[in-house]
Amino acid sequence: MSDASAIQGLVAYTDGGCRGNPGVGGWAFVLVHRATGSTLERRGGEAETTNNRMEITAALELLRSLKRPGQRLEIRSDSRYLIDLATKWAAGWKRRGWTRKGKEPLKNLDLIKPLDALLDTHHVTWTWVAGHSGEPGNDYVDQLANEAMDCLQSGADPALERRLEASPIPL
């Protein structure tokens, strides 16, 4: 992606986590239009899930939020599993009929297949960021995912959507 298209495109942070694995899980994303700063953030969760499922769900929900195909998007994540799934492993799994080498069934296929289909409709660049390291965007979505888990544990609805005129994180 050229510098000019990066400036005009979108940047997003995603995160997912669990308390116990499996356990109560939360996911979140924040999506920022680079040129205007307008922002969409969402979070949600599940009562019994895994960390990997929440990481995939965050990216899947992010891509579902895009209204037009062909968007230029940088996704920043602290999940090597998610990034490797999207950039390295999915193509091989697809060629083998969505199985691992040795024909082992894939975990999380109900999330992986729709994620892969949506990735095919956009121009996505992935960037790994260190988790829990003071990186503002990653810390922000980590907080949102934890808020979703807090809601679930207290019996409240973990779902939240906010639209902001300016980004809450520096890009």
What's the domain count of the chain?
A: 1
Residue 16 is a catalytic residue: yes
Q: Is residue 136 part of a domain?
A: yes
Domain housing 33? 3-164
Q: Report DSSP state, residue 133.
A: S
The model's pTM is 0.93
In a domain, 106, yes or no: yes
Question: What is the domain-level CATH number for residue 155?
Answer: 3.30.420.10
Catalytic-labelled residue, pool 15, 61, 74, 139: 15
Question: Catalytic site residue 150?
Answer: no
Residue 33 bears catalytic tag: no
Catalytic residue status for 132: yes
Rounded CA separation 8/127 (Å) = 17
Least confident window among 99-103, 117-121, 128-132, 161-165: 99-103
Residue-wise pLDDT tens digits, 130-169: 988 889 999 999 999 999 999 999 999 999 999 999 999 9
Catalytic residue, candidates 25, 41, 44, 55: 55
In sequence order, what are the residues at sequence separation of 6 or more whose Cβ sits closer than 8 angstroms to the Cβ of residue 158?
26, 43, 44, 45, 147, 148, 149, 151, 152
Strands (E), the chain: 10-20, 23-33, 39-49, 72-77, 123-128, 160-164
Catalytic residue among 3, 97, 132, 134: 132
